Amino acid sequence: MTLRMPWFLRRILGIVPTLFLTWSIVFGVLQLIPGDPVMLALGGTPVSDEILDNERRRLGLDQPIYVQYLTFLKKMAVGDLGNGYSSKQPVSEMIAARVRPSLELALGGLLVGILLGVALGIAAGLRPHGWVDTATMSTALVGVSLPSFWIGMLLIYVFGLQLEWVPILGDGIDALILPSITIGLFLAGGLARLIRSALIETMTQDYIRTAHSKGLSTLRIVAKHAMRNAIIPPITLLGLQFAVLIGGAVVTERVFARAGLGSMLIDAVLTKDIPLVQGLVVYTTTAYIVINLLLELLYGIVDPRIRSRRA
Amino acid sequence: MTATAIMPPRRLIARTLGTPGALAGSIILVVLVFGAIFAPLISPYDPNATRVCPRLAAPSLDYVFGCDLFGRDIFSRILHGSRLSLAVGLLTVAISLIAGTLIGMVIAFLGGRVDRIGVRLLDVMLGFPAIVLAILIVAVLGVGAFNAALAVGISGIPRIARVVRSATLTLVGREFVDSARAVGASQARILRRHLLPNLMPIVIVLGSLDLGTAILSTATLSFLGLGAQPPQAEWGAMLSAGREFMRYAPWTMIFPGLALFLAVMSVNLVGDRLSHILDPRASKHD
DSSP string, A253-303: HHHTT--SHHHHHHHHHHTT-HHHHHHHHHHHHHHHHHHHHHHHHHHHHH-
Coil, helix or strand at residue A80: coil
Q: Does residue A21 sit at the B interface (CB-CB below 8 Å)? A: yes
Closest CA to B191 of B97, B285, B94, B103: B103
Task: List, for residues B198-208, the tens digit of each pLDDT value.
Answer: 888 888 888 88
Residue B1 is predicted with a pLDDT of 41
Distance CA A66, CA A73 (A): 11
Distance CA B282, CA B286 (A): 10
Contact B135 A269 (CB under 8 A): yes
Residue B4 is predicted with a pLDDT of 47
- Using CA coordinates, name the residue in chain A closest to B242: A153
- Using CA coordinates, name the residue in chain B closest to A159: B247
Contact A272 B139 (CB under 8 A): yes
Angle, helices A261-270/B130-141, rounded to nearest 10 degrees: 20
The four Cα atoms B158, B162, B164, B167 give a dihedral, to 10 degrees, of 180
Query: Residue B157: which pLDDT band, with cuts at 50, 70 and 90?
Result: very high
Q: Which of A36, A60, A85 is where one domain is finished?
A: A85
Q: Are residues A76 and A167 in the same domain?
A: no
In total, how many domains does chain A have? 2
User: Would you say residue A171 lies in a domain?
Assistant: yes
Q: Does residue B139 sit at the A interface (CB-CB below 8 Å)? A: yes
- This prediction's pTM: 0.87
Q: Does residue B238 sit at the A interface (CB-CB below 8 Å)? A: no
Question: Are A300 and A11 spatial neighbours (Cβ–Cβ below 8 Å)?
Answer: yes
Contacts of A93 (CB under 8 A, 6+ apart): none
For every residue of A57-94, DSSP letters joined together read HHTTTTS-HHHHHHHHHHHHHTT---B-TTT-SBHHHH
Closest CA to B216 of B160, B271, B158: B271
Q: Does residue A96 sit at the B interface (CB-CB below 8 Å)? A: no
Task: List, for residues A159-183, the tens digit of each pLDDT value.
Answer: 988 898 888 777 778 888 999 999 9
Tell me how many helices (H) and strands (E) chain B has. 13, 0
Question: Are B252 and A154 spatial neighbours (Cβ–Cβ below 8 Å)?
Answer: no
Q: Which residues of A touch B212 (CB under 8 A)?
A: 144-145
Q: Which of A67, A85, A103 is where one domain is finished?
A: A85
Asked if pLDDT for residue B6 goes beyond 70, the answer is: no
**CATH class for the domain made up of B12-283:** mainly alpha
Quick one: what percent of chain A has pLDDT higher than 70? 94
Instruction: Identify the domain containing residue A38 by its residue range.
Output: 7-85
Q: Are residues A68 and A98 in the same domain?
A: no
Query: Residue A233: which pLDDT band, with cuts at 50, 70 and 90?
Result: confident
Query: Residue B147: which pLDDT band, with cuts at 50, 70 and 90?
Result: very high
Query: Residue B261: which pLDDT band, with cuts at 50, 70 and 90?
Result: very high
What is the predicted ipTM? 0.86
Cα–Cα distances (Å) from B128 to A96, A103, A180, B51, B211, in that order, read 20, 19, 23, 44, 20
Question: Are B179 and B259 spatial neighbours (Cβ–Cβ below 8 Å)?
Answer: no
User: Would you say residue A1 lies in a domain?
Assistant: no
Distance CA B178, CA B156 (A): 32
**Nearest 5°: phi and psi at B246?**
-70, -20
Q: Are residues A214 and A271 in the same domain?
A: yes
- Number of C-beta neighbours around residue A130 at 10 A: 12
Q: Are residues A31 and A137 in the same domain?
A: no
Query: Residue B283: which pLDDT band, with cuts at 50, 70 and 90?
Result: very low
Quick one: what percent of chain B has pLDDT higher than 90? 42
Residue B286 is predicted with a pLDDT of 38
Q: Are residues A105 and A63 in the same domain?
A: no
Query: Residue A2: which pLDDT band, with cuts at 50, 70 and 90?
Result: low
User: Would you say residue A151 lies in a domain?
Assistant: yes
Q: Does residue A33 sit at the B interface (CB-CB below 8 Å)? A: yes
**Nearest 5°: phi and psi at B73?**
-75, 120
Residue A81 is predicted with a pLDDT of 87
Coil, helix or strand at residue B229: coil
Q: Does residue A142 sit at the B interface (CB-CB below 8 Å)? A: yes
Residue A45 is predicted with a pLDDT of 73
Q: Are residues A276 and A149 in the same domain?
A: yes
User: Would you say residue A131 lies in a domain?
Assistant: yes
Contacts of A151 (CB under 8 A, 6+ apart): A182, A185
Contacts of B236 (CB under 8 A, 6+ apart): B218, B219, B220, B221, B222, B223, B224, B227, B228, B256, B260
Rounded to an integer, the average pLDDT of B47-65 is 82
CA B51, chain centre distance (Å): 34
Q: Are residues A142 and A223 in the same domain?
A: yes
Rounded to an integer, the average pLDDT of B18-23 is 85
| CATH number of the structural domain spanning residue A211 | 1.10.3720.10
Q: Are residues A188 and A141 in the same domain?
A: yes
Option in A251, A274, A289 nearest B220 (CB): A251
Which range in B5-19, B62-76, B86-100 is most confidently predicted, on average pLDDT? B86-100
Give the total residue count for chain A.
Answer: 311
Cα–Cα distances (Å) from B235 to A234, B52, B223, B240, in that order, read 34, 20, 8, 9
Q: Does residue B93 sit at the A interface (CB-CB below 8 Å)? A: no
Coil, helix or strand at residue A173: helix
User: Would you say residue A41 lies in a domain?
Assistant: yes
Distance CA B256, CA B30 (A): 18
Q: Alpha helices of B156-195 — where are they, by DSSP H?
A: 157-172, 175-182, 187-189
Contact B140 A29 (CB under 8 A): yes
Q: Are residues A238 and A125 in the same domain?
A: yes
Which position has the higher pLDDT, B65 or A220? B65
Asked if pLDDT for residue B252 goes beyond 50, the answer is: yes
DSSP B68: -
* Amino acid letter, residue A130: G
Cis preceding linkage at B231, omega within 30: yes
Residue A35 is predicted with a pLDDT of 76
Residue B27 is predicted with a pLDDT of 93
Q: Are residues A167 and A276 in the same domain?
A: yes
User: Would you say residue A2 lies in a domain?
Assistant: no
Q: Are residues A296 and A232 in the same domain?
A: yes
Exposure class string for B145-174: b at 16+ Cβ within 10 A, else e = bebbbbbbbbbbbbbbbbbbbebbeebbee
Contact B239 A33 (CB under 8 A): no
Contact B239 A247 (CB under 8 A): no
Rounded to an integer, the average pLDDT of A119-130 is 85
Would you list the domain boundaries of chain B?
A: 12-283
Q: Are residues A11 and A38 in the same domain?
A: yes
